[in-house]
Structure 1
Amino acid sequence: MLSAESAEIVRATLPVVGASLDEITERFYETMFAEHPDLLDGTFNRGNQRNGEQRRALAGSIAAFATMLLEHPDERPDHLLSRIAHKHAAVSVTDDQYVIVHKYLFGAIAEVLGEAVTPQVAAAWDEVYWLMAGALIAMEARIYAEAGAKGGRTWRRWRVVERREETADTASFVLAPLGDEPVPPAAPGQYVSVRVQLPDGVHQLRQYTLSGCGEDDLRRITVKRVRGEGSPDGEVSNLLHDTVAEGDELTLSAPFGDVVLADGDEPLVLVSAGIGCTPVTAMLQHLALTGSTRRVLVLHADRSKADHALREDMKRLAEALPGGEKIFWYEEGPCGCARPGRMDLSEVEIPRGAVVYMCGPLPFMREVRAQLLKAGVAAHDVHYEVFGPDLWLGAA
């Protein structure tokens, strides 16, 4: 994929470029948004810009892609690219935006690295960029087509037919589609973007997992409020909590996401913590509706029983499965229905040959993944979903 000449240069310069990627991406975003502030109105998540997560995710994906090109020159890292492509499709990224990104990214590289960026070095990394961009553009075109979207237009209006308070800081919104267009299918584990206008007039998008799909094309999202007054990371979630009621309308994208429950008869281990229960609940619902007889082990950790969103759904669905079993862990308060403390798999029998789906905070997933591998689960059978920029991409 990468020419021999460029591969030699990229291999020689990767340590220097990699060490400077955080500074490069910071400068890249700073310059691009200064000249294209419109990109913060409806495309980029300004909360992730403020906390630096998007910058770190971009740096990590570039470094991971370049490394994979060098280590596996005859293979395209589609597992890495697929995750990025679905994230892009969820915010309606278009082909022309790759040209804009290229301009400011390479301007930042030249500015940060200075004379080290010779014409040969620039050409080699330019090849890396367009290999990655070209693959993503092709993937995103297929994803848009599968979602029935034309030109990246994936949006439609939905009406809130029910608002359900799950916990003190978590609410579910049951949604019905407006209009006569067919509703694109949703796979268990996928998410949608919700597009809102904030009080300052700026549009922002946030992704929420579909925590359930019902009859008559009804869908449900479950949103956790982010505590802390003025938190930029929670401005959309808090707006939904504070202002959206039954009868209101929301703008949603088609469903996206590549971490979806695959068909098969292997045992399943569904692992979650906190609001990471949303994709697990959707998977359990799908298994129950299809009459699955697979062995399913549901493992969930939370602060307390009162904080466990969708607890009754998870309990009911797991118990409805012939091969279902559930174990909950709560850190606070005595509870005979759960184990105390943090999730500990040392005394849990993990089914042989199990396929695992995980969702929760990154530290939690790193810790549990290590326990699963120790228990004999194959690394390639551990699938995970990250809420927000994937800072684990290429490292897991």
Structure 2
Amino acid sequence: MLKTVKKLDPKKLEIVKTTLPIVQEHGEKITKQFYKRLFENHPELKNIFNMTHQITGHQPKALANAVYAAAANIEDMSAIMPALERIGQKHRSLQIKPEQYPIVGENLLGAIKEVLGDAATDEIIDAWADAYEVISDVFIRMENRLYKTAETQPGGWAGFKDFIIDRKVKESEVITSFYLKPKDGKELPQYIPGQYITVKIDIEKEKYTHLRQYSLSDRPGNDYYRISVKREDPKSEELPPGVVSTDLHELFNEGDILPISCPSGDFYLDMNSHSPVVLICGGVGITPLMSMLNTIIEKQPDRKVYFIHAVMNGKVQAFKDYLKQVAAKEPNVETYSIYSNPTDEDKKNKAFDKEGFITLEWLKEVLPNHDSQFYFCGPEPFMKVVNRALLDWGVPKEDIHYEFFGSFGDLEG
């Protein structure tokens, strides 16, 4: 159990519990005001935060849910440990440091005061200040452990390390793979298939550094790390979603340098299990599952694998030829492609196995039963559909694993 080391005074604990409903009610408004204050007072932190998520509203929602959940479980956070681990892994990959927590706390409390007005008395703000200190202590201790592990493992490093783009390979009309090798030529630390790295990108036309997480898309044990990046369509003049992915595609070439962090992440393949594996991906969500697939082929060739990739059509499907080769060569691997909007050429070449979308009925047709380990990744609406289908089928929650890039919580929330 994850017990907190610092404890709240019983009176302050009661105040926090009593005011939880109103904080939850105004949570997103509070966190939006928090980020406004934070970036006005500390613009240098724009070098860390994903500003696209500020525009879309994902980050304020995520923070609001995280603050509420942590405060609600402040006496013992074991019940939300998976979500805490996810946040801690991301903080480590972004190089969040202990000295930044007081800055966040000051601006968060200021935002609570601004939004709640006279309802946020000095006594209430004081209680929440102590609650924040307890919560931040949990994260700092967790992240210190993660930093130590990353830095002391064979080949590990602290902060960001320069990698050379050794190869740049176009996988589809929208996805390109980057093969990255350490500039210093030293060995690479191992990672668990499914994990990601953070890439630090300085772009001449941009004022601030951009940090982005990309799943590693090949198995561990190579002399390179591979990321496969989807080029997103810019939609905002201020900071369009996809500004980083577009620049990676257009401005970075073989021989260029990308600083990256040690691999992180709490979504990974259980290599101690020999149960059948079902890997379900939507679009670029294929990347962590490619790492899992290639690892199973290499390390557990007798393990049954069902690989299901849902995309719009063959033009945008990454690794489609490779998947066909794997299915033909590996007797224990079955692959399926689902196209929601196939082209005439796709239809002519019979390039896909199903037209439309993944449904529970279709899963029951291609899978012998639900006695498998299920891993899936893709856009949030896609994952909600898959998760609901698996639960309706009776798949135990402990056999359902997913990479969640949305707000704090699970796909049912």
SS at match of 1:167: coil
Task: Say yes or no: does 1:136 pair with 2:139.
Answer: yes
Q: Give the Å deviation of 1:326.
A: 2.0
Amino acid at match of 2:338: W
1:228 aligns with 2:234: yes
Deviation track 1:328-359 (CA, whole Å, cap 9, x = no partner) reads 21011223532000112313234343221111
In the alignment, residue 97 of structure 1 is paired with which amino acid?
Answer: Q
Q: How many corresponding residue pairs?
A: 391
Q: Deviations over 1:164-205 (max 9, x none)?
A: 111112111111111154422221111111111121342111
Q: Which residue of 1 aligns with 2:88?
A: 85
The CA deviation at 1:60 is 1.4
Query: Where does the alignment leave 5 or more consecutive residues of structure 1 unmatched?
Result: none
- Equivalent of 2:360 in 345, 349, 353: 345
- The 3 A distance-change label for structure 1 pair 94 and 74 is closer
Distance 1:290 1:319, change over 3 A: farther
After superposition, what is the alpha-carbon deviation per residue over 1:11-57, rounded to whole angstroms, capped at 9, x for unaligned?
A: 3211211111111111111111111111112x111111222211111
Aligned-partner Cα distance in 2 for 1:6–1:313: 59
The worse-fitting range, judged by mean Cα deviation, of 251-260 and 107-116 is 107-116
Any unmatched runs of 5+ in structure 2?
none
| Cα RMSD after superposing both structures | 2.3
Please state whether the residue corresponding to 2:216 is helix, strand or coil.
Answer: strand
Q: CA-to-partner distance for each residue in 1:135-169, whole Å, 9 max, x for gaps?
A: 1111111111111179x932111111111111112
Do 1:69 and 1:75's aligned partners in 2 also have CA atoms closer than 8 Å? no
Question: Where do 1:164-313 residues align within 5 Å?
Answer: 164-198=169-203, 199-213=205-219, 217-228=223-234, 230=237, 232-263=240-271, 264-313=273-322
Q: CA separation of 1:191/1:318 partners in 2, compared to 1, >3 Å: closer, same or farther?
A: farther
Aligned to 2:127: 124
Alpha carbons of structure 1 residues 291 and 74: separation in structure 2 relative to 1, 3 Å: closer
Aligned ranges 1:48-127 → 2 under 5 Å: 48-69=53-74, 73=76, 75=78, 77-127=80-130
Counterpart CA distance in 1 for 2:152 and 2:242 is 28
Aligned mate of 2:24, from 18, 21, 25: 18
Secondary structure of the residue aligned to 2:227 is strand
More displaced, 236-245 or 293-302? 293-302
Gap change, CA 1:213 and 1:294, over 3 Å in 2 = closer
Report the identity percentage.
Answer: 33
Match of 1:393 in 2: 409
Question: Which shifted more, 92-101 or 372-381?
Answer: 372-381
CA distance in 1, matches of 2:351, 2:230: 26
Q: Is the 8 A contact 1:188 1:282 kept in 2?
A: yes
Match of 2:45 among 39, 64, 69: 39
Q: For 2:398 and 2:277, how far apart are their aligned partners in 1? A: 14
TM-score (norm 1): 0.92
Contact 1:61-1:394 within 8 A present in 2 as well: no
- Aligned partner of 2:339 in structure 1 is 330
Aligned partners of 1:48, 1:59: CA distance in 2, in Å? 14
**Is the 2:31–2:60 Cα contact (8 Å) retained in structure 1?**
yes
2 CA distance for matches of 1:89 and 1:82?
A: 10
Task: Describe the shift of the 1:125–1:226 C-alpha distance in structure 2 as closer, same or farther (beyond 3 A).
Answer: same
